[in-house]
Amino acid sequence: MRILVVDDSRTITAVFGARLVEIGHEVVIAENGQIAVERFQVSAPDLVLMDIEMPVMNGFEAAKQIRAVEATQEWAWTPIIFLTASDTPEHLITAIEAGGDDFIPKSAPEGVVQAKMKAMARIASLRAELSLANRKLAAQASQDGLTGLVNRRYMDLRLDQQWSEAIRCGAPFGLLMMDVDHFKQFNDHYGHLAGDDCLRAIAATLLKMVEEVNARRMARDAFVARYGGEEFAMMLPRCAGEAVAEIARATVDAVRRQGIPHARNAEWGVITLSVGGAHMSRAEGALSPLFRRADANLYGAKKNGRNRVEVG
C-alpha cells in the first residue's frame, strides 16, 4: 500500500515510516494536516495514518477536508486511522464524526501494527476492485452498445453540465443534429447486420471529427452521442458560429468520403449524412430552443436534397 503518515514529530514519522517500509509499504510523509490534504490529492494513498494534535491544522480538520475532496470524486473512500497517545471515548467519537475509521496508539507493539496493516491492505484491495467494477458499470450505463459512442442518457447529463457552465461564463455554444440519409432503404436492401456495420463506421468517423475539433481547439470538450436510431448529435461548447458551420460541412464530407455503397441512394450511390446546426453566441436561458432550431435545420437539410448542411 501507499500510506500517508501525518505527524508534526519527525521522530514519530521516522519510526512509523521505517516500520511500514520494513513490512513492504510505500510511505509519504506530511508534517501537519494542511500539508496532508495537499499531499493526499497528489499521492492518492491507500491509507492515511494521522496524528490528532498538530500545528496549522489538526487531524480532525484534515480528515474532514480529505472527505470533502473525496466527495467530489466517484467511488472514492480512503481509510483514515488516527495515531494517538490517548484513546479516550471523546477522541473516538470526534474521530468518527470527522471521517476517521480507527485508532492506533503510537506505542502499539509491532505485531499490532502489522495486523492493522494487513487488515487495511485487504480493505484497500477490495476497495480497488469495487471501484473498478463500479466504473465499468457506469461506462456500460453511459455507452451505446452498438456504436460505442455515449448514449442519449449520458448525453443529457453531460450536456446539462456544459450548458450551465456556458451560461455562467457567457460562452458560445453549438449543436449539430445528424441523420443518415435513406437509412431505412439501406437496411431493406442490405440487411440489418450491414446496417449495424454502417452505423459503427459512421460513429467512428464522427468520433475522429470530434477529436480533431478538440485538438484544434475549435470547441472545448466537444463530444458526439448516438441520439437514437440513425441519428447522432454533436455538442460544441465554446464554438464560434462560423466554426459550427465548418465542422458541419467537414462532417458531411467525411461520411460521404467513406464510400459505403448505398444502391438505394440514387443521387450519390454511397451513404451520406444530412446535418442541421444551431448556434448561440452567448448561452442563455433554456437549452431546448437550441435543439428545436437544430432539428428544424436538419429537416430543412433533408427537404432540400440531403447530403448537405443547414445551420442557423
Residues 236 and 213 sit within 8 Å (Cβ to Cβ): yes
Per-residue pLDDT tens digits for 281-312: 999 999 999 999 999 999 999 999 999 999 98
Residues 299 and 276 sit within 8 Å (Cβ to Cβ): yes
pLDDT band per the 50, 70, 90 thresholds, residue 139: low
- Give yes or no on whether 2-141 and 152-311 have one common fold: no
* CA angle, 280 then 168 then 157, to 5°: 80
Predicted local confidence at residue 159, as pLDDT: 92
| Three-class DSSP category at 25 | coil
Per-residue pLDDT tens digits for 17-75: 888 898 888 999 999 999 999 999 998 898 999 998 899 999 889 999 999 998 887 66
Is the per-residue pLDDT at 111 higher than 70?
yes
Residues contacting 124, CB < 8 A, separation 6+: 1, 46, 47, 79
Q: Enumerate the domain spans of the chain.
A: 2-141, 152-311
Distance in angstroms (rounded) separating the CA atoms of residues 257 and 92 = 68
Residue 240 Ramachandran class (φ > 0 left, ψ -120 to 50 alpha, else beta): beta
Residues contacting 195, CB < 8 A, separation 6+: 183, 186, 187
The correct answer on CATH 3.30.70.270 for the domain covering 152-311 is: yes
pLDDT top residue among 111 and 75: 111
How large is the average pLDDT for residues 268-289?
95
Residue 149 Ramachandran class (φ > 0 left, ψ -120 to 50 alpha, else beta): beta
Residues 5 and 13 sit within 8 Å (Cβ to Cβ): yes
Distance in angstroms (rounded) separating the CA atoms of residues 120 and 106 = 17
Per-residue pLDDT tens digits for 141-181: 788 989 999 999 899 989 999 999 999 999 999 999 999 99
Distance in angstroms (rounded) separating the CA atoms of residues 235 and 302 = 20
The highest-level CATH class for domain 2-141 is: alpha beta
Predicted local confidence at residue 102, as pLDDT: 81
pLDDT band per the 50, 70, 90 thresholds, residue 4: very high
How many residues can be counted in the chain?
312
Predicted local confidence at residue 83, as pLDDT: 84
Distance in angstroms (rounded) separating the CA atoms of residues 207 and 81 = 45
How large is the average pLDDT for residues 171-199?
96
Query: Does the pTM exceed 0.75?
Result: no
| 203: nearest Cα among 255, 246, 154, 239 | 255
Is the per-residue pLDDT at 90 higher than 80?
no
SS3 content of the chain, % helix, strand, coil (to 5): 50, 20, 30
Per-residue pLDDT tens digits for 212-264: 999 999 999 999 999 999 999 999 999 999 999 999 999 999 999 999 999 99
Q: What are the residue numbers of the active site?
A: 230
Q: Is 71 exposed, middle or buried (0-12, 13-18, 19+ CB in 10 A)?
A: exposed
Is the per-residue pLDDT at 136 higher than 80?
no
Q: What nine digits make up the cell of 188?
A: 431493406
Predicted local confidence at residue 87, as pLDDT: 63
